Amino acid sequence: MKTFIQELAETIVREYPDWNNLTVVFPNRRAALYFRKALGEALDTPRWAPDVLHVEAFIGSFSELVEADKLSLVVKLYRTFKQVTGSDEDLDFFYFWGEMLLRDFDELDKYLVPAAGLFRDMSNQKEIDEYFDYLTEEQKKFLTDFWQSVEFGTADSKRRFLELWRSLYTIYTEFRQQLEREGIAYGGMIHRAVAESIGKTLTPPAGRQYIFAGFNALTSAEEAIIAWFVLHRKARVYWDEDAFYVQPRHREAGAFFRQYRAHAVLGATFPEQPGSYLGTAKEITVLGVPQKAGQPKLLAQRLEAVLKQPGMEAERTVVVLPDESLLLPVLYALPPSLQTINVTMGFPLVSTPYYTLIDLLFDLHLHQRKAEFYFRYVLALLNHPYLKGRVGDEGNEWREYILKHNQVYLAPSFFEKHPLARVIFQHIDLEDFLPYLLNVIEVLATSGGQEGLMEKEFAFHFHRILARVKDLAASEPMNLRMLQRMFRQIARAEKVPFTGEPLRGLQIMGVLETRNLDFDRVIVLSLNEGLWPAAARQGSYIPHNIRKAYRLPTAEHQDAMYAYLFYRLLQRASIVDLYYNTEPDVLGTREMSRYLYQLIYETGWPFSRQVLYNPVQIHPVQPITIEKKADVLLKLERYFGKALTPSTLNTYIECRLQFYFRHLQELREPDEVEEEADARIFGNILHRVMELFYIALRPPSGPWRIQAGDFANLDDKLEFFIERAFREHFFLPDEKPFEYEGRQLVVKEMVKRFAAKVLRHDARSVPFVIELLEANNFTTTIVVKQRDKSLSIVMGGKIDRVDRKDDTVRIIDYKTGKDENRFENIPALFQRSPRRNKAAFQAMLYAWVYAQRQPRREGETRALQPGLINRREIFKDDFEYGLFLGRQRLEDVTNLLPEFEEQLLMLLEEMFDPAVPFDQTEELKTCMYCDYKEICQR
């Protein structure tokens, strides 16, 4: 079937001999390009083509005003707004509302609305809430912020709001006057000027022929201009319509044509009967696909098969994407056999990697401290796709160093050896920040990365936006936060207008780009409600009732336009594939488009329908059991080449499988920089402060005796040792200034209180002698018999403190949590129960290690007293050091150690018993905070 444009080209060749005096006007540039190709194909011999224009260029040719870019217009509107209202609103906050106001002004002019009357009627509304009901609470909040904190609700606030509202007409008129003085305009301003002056002060020359082709939803200005040319210059209009939706009055797709057929002038330009293209035979397939990501995959499979068919030309196939976010997934999914692809649609700049990169650079510099960069933004940048590949192995080394050394802030010198990183991570003053961003984009665009032409197009558009913001910042001073907001506002409203060679290859288009174009095979993805038709327009100062009264576009107008675009796309197609997503979106459900319902239940057209689904097989959660085969036993023996710590044993007792994952398979959560003070940092710093305090009291030789005078000036000493501990923890050299920030201040005070309480408690026990302090190799050896061999296992770990008071050896463990110091009996310490006292088990294990290392000599009366100093107990007035067996305080645990050793040997024998697998605990409470619960599906 011939396309609309081919039919038009043949008509012009046949009926218009004088092309030197012929102008053909289309709604958009793409139709004009396709028309030139069709015109060439319709000719037998070459000749000069007529003037072919899109409507914006045609109307603009009758005006001396030049259409300015949106950013310039919003800035000029901002200055007018400040001048009229006296507001001191910052530009970055105004920009969103300025864009909305500019759109309203543009529509007022394109639809030739008497602005004075409209604004007067809006101001005369009796109740502000009545005509702001269409706003959400969030929109009301934005509007309130914009109007200098005017609150909705009270009579006074309504009065003040209306006073401000009445200034809109003044803003409108003065803004237009200022633009006229500068010889520039927004689009609607040019349209109104031409429509109101044509045939009066403006008279296009006679003797020229005009054709208007493919129009549908005309603005009032376009309608007036075209009607004038029809009436006074005998212009002809070729409408792209179909009887299917024009003649039945209930079909919204034909609403505009029915209106124009009744027009006093335009009605005469219509044929008596519209064509009937939709009634021709078509092969229509409706495809329900689960999830958005499934559609590009299915599309690629079907395209590969279709394009292999003889006579199937890729350029006669179009893929229409109502959902712009599918563009990149579609491009990545297309089969390699497609050599030529043309993309003709806009892609949101905020969905590009360059947007996230530039926004991260803003954050990097906004959150720097004393010219040093915050690690979170450094890591985010190093992981960014545009940097990760370019910095290579050095980036991995930097990440490892930052995590290993707990670097919260990094100086620019850290990156100075890598040329690209040196460009990214440099200290920049405010006035140099935008040139810095421009330089980063230029370096990335020319540094030989893997990005293709599309990414270079992204770079070009961001470079253009930032260059404009740079020019703007020269006249409107802004701080860095304001610049970021401006960048975000501008980028979120911009799209990359991909425009390739539309005459070759597979065509990929947005909905609006399909106007006037026909294809043999039409494929539409994401044909869901809210995507096609698009969701109702948002963002206007003009309430719905007033829009309707003044014949401004409303939701009904938009629905009619999108309905026309859908059915017009199908008119001359022979094969149609319509995809929709069967899965609910993040907001709940998104039904298939109303157009699919109409096609299925109203049209009577033959079609096939397929609904794909992901087969779901529900499997019961299987228990995980790791048998101790030879390779597992070998890992176990190798692991016990190092010391078996109380923490490791606690893990095994709690869950054998958790022990296997953590210690034999070495599955770990990724390391993170600890910028704030969590419980672990609190514990580390407290232990180090206690160590520093007592190390300072250690004599060069002889017993490490602690006396009462050692606790003098305790607060000053603690201040010094706490800062030193923080410096060590965050790897800060002595010459570098240190300031406590955020929760660090809280932790500092917590450590000081805890340490002071412990030390004052120690002071009541003087004199005593320290034997060990933060000893890392507090270990002994135990022999475990296993069938035909014996294994020697190292037991122990790091002990906080061992001291001697008279005949009592105290084995002290600092606990910053809420650990209990009571247990029922020795077997209870080895039971697999959530109520098992892990801290008491650790204290008893260290007591046993001490007894093994230093057995009691014959006749010695030494007592062995392990104990906990924990956060909950130390601040009680009746605090007593030690462990409690039931209610009995243990002054000496020596008599309990044989039973403890017996239980310990049984535990170790079980660990090496091939018949006892590594299996899951039956206590599900243990799984609640386990790192591996996702593996176990618990």
Residues 619-635 have pLDDT tens digits of 777 899 999 998 998 88
Give the integer Cα–Cα distance in Å for 208 and 688. Answer: 93
Per the CB < 8 A criterion, the answer to whether 81 and 87 are in contact is: yes
Q: What are the pLDDT digits (tens) for 505-545?
A: 899 999 999 999 999 999 999 999 989 998 776 678 888 88
Q: Which of 487, 525, 139 is nearest to 345 (CA)?
A: 525
Count of residues for the chain?
A: 938
Give the integer Cα–Cα distance in Å for 863 and 894. Answer: 7
**Which region among 200-209, 416-425, 501-510 has the lowest average model confidence (pLDDT)?**
501-510
Give the integer Cα–Cα distance in Å for 683 and 188. Answer: 67
Architecture per CATH, domain 632-676+767-933, reads as Alpha-Beta Complex (3.90)
**Which region among 51-60, 448-457, 758-767, 809-818 has the lowest average model confidence (pLDDT)?**
448-457
pLDDT beyond 80 at 749: yes
Q: Within 13 Å, how many C-alpha atoms sit on residue 816's CB side?
A: 20
Query: Looking at residue 405, what is its pLDDT?
Result: 79
For residue 790, the cross-strand partners are 785
**Which region among 101-115, 141-155, 293-307 has the lowest average model confidence (pLDDT)?**
141-155
Query: Looking at residue 127, what is its pLDDT?
Result: 42
Angle between helices 91-110 and 137-146 (to 10 degrees): 110
Query: Looking at residue 130, what is its pLDDT?
Result: 47
Query: Looking at residue 577, what is its pLDDT?
Result: 97
pTM above 0.75, yes or no: no
pLDDT beyond 60 at 133: no
pLDDT beyond 80 at 673: no
Sign of the CA dihedral with 837 first, then 840, 845, and 846 last: positive
Q: Which residues of 132-156 are buried (b: 16+ CB within 10 A; e: fewer)?
A: beebeeeeeebbeebbeebebeeee
Per the CB < 8 A criterion, the answer to whether 97 and 90 are in contact is: no
Q: What are the pLDDT digits (tens) for 350-361?
A: 989 999 999 999
pLDDT beyond 60 at 257: yes
Q: What are the pLDDT digits (tens) for 858-895?
A: 878 899 999 999 887 888 888 888 999 999 999 999 99
Region class of 234: left (phi > 0), else alpha (psi between -120 and 50), else beta: left
Give the integer Cα–Cα distance in Å for 475 and 78. Answer: 13
Q: Which of 194-198, 373-377, 731-735, 742-746 has the highest mean pLDDT?
A: 194-198
Q: Calculate what percentage of the chain has a pLDDT beyond 70.
A: 92
How does residue 151 score in pLDDT terms, banded at 50, 70 and 90? very low
**Which region among 192-206, 441-455, 558-572, 872-886 has the lowest average model confidence (pLDDT)?**
441-455
Angle between helices 91-110 and 70-85 (to 10 degrees): 100
pLDDT beyond 60 at 828: yes
| CATH code reported for the domain at 283-340+504-611 | 3.40.50.300
Q: Read off the tokens for 629.
A: 């085969």
pLDDT beyond 70 at 608: yes
Residue of higher predicted confidence among 894 and 743: 894
How is residue 350 annotated by DSSP? G
Region class of 494: left (phi > 0), else alpha (psi between -120 and 50), else beta: beta
Query: Looking at residue 240, what is its pLDDT?
Result: 97
| Average confidence (pLDDT) over 299-326 | 88
Q: Is the link from the previous residue into 533 a cis peptide, with omega within 30 of 0? A: yes
Give the integer Cα–Cα distance in Å for 412 and 400. Answer: 17
| Average confidence (pLDDT) over 578-590 | 73
Measure CA of the first residue to CA of the last residue in the chain; give whole Å. Answer: 61
Q: Which of 775, 820, 919 is nearest to 829 (CA)?
A: 820
Give the integer Cα–Cα distance in Å for 389 and 401. Answer: 18
Give the integer Cα–Cα distance in Å for 538 and 455. Answer: 30
pLDDT beyond 90 at 312: no
Q: Which of 6-10, 31-35, 84-88 has the highest mean pLDDT?
A: 6-10
CATH superfamily of the 4-62+198-269 domain: P-loop containing nucleotide triphosphate hydrolases (3.40.50.300)
Place of tokens 């909905």: 511
Query: Looking at residue 147, what is its pLDDT?
Result: 45
pLDDT beyond 80 at 101: yes
Q: What is the DSSP string of 370-434?
A: TTBEEHHHHHHHHTSHHHHHHHHHHHHHHHHHHHHTT-SEE-GGGGTTSHHHHHHS----GGGHH
| Average confidence (pLDDT) over 458-477 | 88
Give the integer Cα–Cα distance in Å for 561 and 255. Answer: 9
Q: Which residues of 281-309 are buried (b: 16+ CB within 10 A; e: fewer)?
A: ebebebbbbeebebbbebbbeebeeebee
Query: Looking at residue 86, what is its pLDDT?
Result: 86
Per the CB < 8 A criterion, the answer to whether 759 and 711 are in contact is: yes
Q: What is the mean pLDDT of the chain?
A: 88
Q: Which of 404, 386, 514 is nearest to 459 (CA)?
A: 386
pLDDT beyond 70 at 500: no
State how far the alpha carbon of 550 is from the alpha carbons of 113, 122, 545, 554, 777, in Å: 7, 12, 9, 11, 87
pLDDT beyond 50 at 273: yes
Residue of higher predicted confidence among 162 and 743: 743
Query: Looking at residue 588, what is its pLDDT?
Result: 44
Query: Looking at residue 739, what is its pLDDT?
Result: 78
List helix spans (H) across 86-153: 91-110, 115-123, 128-131, 137-146
Residue of higher predicted confidence among 218 and 549: 218
Query: Looking at residue 613, what is its pLDDT?
Result: 82
**Which region among 14-28, 88-102, 445-459 has the lowest average model confidence (pLDDT)?**
445-459
Q: Is the link from the previous residue into 767 a cis peptide, with omega within 30 of 0? A: yes
